[in-house]
Amino acid sequence: MKDFNGKIAVITGAGTGMGRALALQLVSEGCGVAICDVLMDNLEETEKLCRKRAAKGSLFTAHECDVSDENQVTAFCDAVKQQHKTDHINLLFNNAGVGGGGSFLVNERSEWDRVFGIDWFGVYYCTRAFMPLLMASQEGHIINISSVNGFWACLGPMGAHTAYSSAKFAVKGFTEALQVDLRINAPHVKASVVMPGHIGTDIAINSSKVLGVNSVEEMTSEELTRSRERMQRAGVPTEGLNDEELRAMIKQLRDDFRDTAPVTSAQAAAVILDGVRNEQWRILVGEDAQFLDQMVRENPETAYEISFAEKLMEEREKRGAGNVLDALKPREE
């Protein structure tokens, strides 16, 4: 699929970040696009931007949908067929995702289940719903967004990341399994798994909204205590900070995650679309993703030990691979 002009794409989680960037790039190329999100303010902003950018004659629609709810996904699919007057689509970007549910042992089950429901079942339900439309096309492509946490299930040896990582491993395994299934049963449909490293997105901010967690300004003393403990385990110095200073630090860290990332959402979207054009089934986004992938493959038995994190940082200094790995670097007091 070298040209997206005249094609029809569906993008989940397109309210911000890579989903929004994909929508903007595709509509500018004359692709018909249907997006969904669960946060309506974000969705409306993407809609406004896309309508300004859309090539003449390309159809754009926006839909509210919680992808963890199969009934809502089915309704979303029906709306796409109706509003785009189509019996097929060409591109399905399963992009919706949230963070949270770090510990299987400590975090509330409701949070864990919510994260897993969006990050894995959202991919499953959408692929189930839209597969007949992909198969009805002359050429189709499924793009499933996993993560570096789809092959490295933590945020370093002191950072549990169980719900998100479990879901992203499932997304990766599902997409790999589709390679053979599609080749046998629908050879005109391709599938790619995308594993981004540190990309500049609002996932940290949006995740709190989707999970119903208090904003930084509204965090209780108990929530602040838990955040302080997590940050200290990760090597972030919080000693001597009062609650207001801690709030300011948490907000700054979230903003920095978006604003100082080595790869922007637009750059990530361009890499993904190039991967689709080249029929890459495995798309690593960012030098940090490529570097970490290599390290995990070379050292699988020690991948979750402190010695592995130390080796990562040593190799990072040698190679100058910038990124998420900075989260593992010991902080100066």
Please give the positions annotated as active site. Answer: 164
Structure token digits, residue 270? 């361009």
Amino acid present at 87: D
Residue 87 gets the label, from left (phi > 0), alpha (psi -120 to 50) or beta, of: alpha
- Residues 204-209: contacts with CB under 8 Å, at least 24 apart: 204/99, 204/253, 204/254, 204/257, 204/258, 205/254, 205/258, 206/15, 206/16, 206/17, 206/39, 206/42, 206/98, 207/98, 207/99, 207/100, 207/115, 209/39
Closest CA to 90 of 54, 126, 141: 141
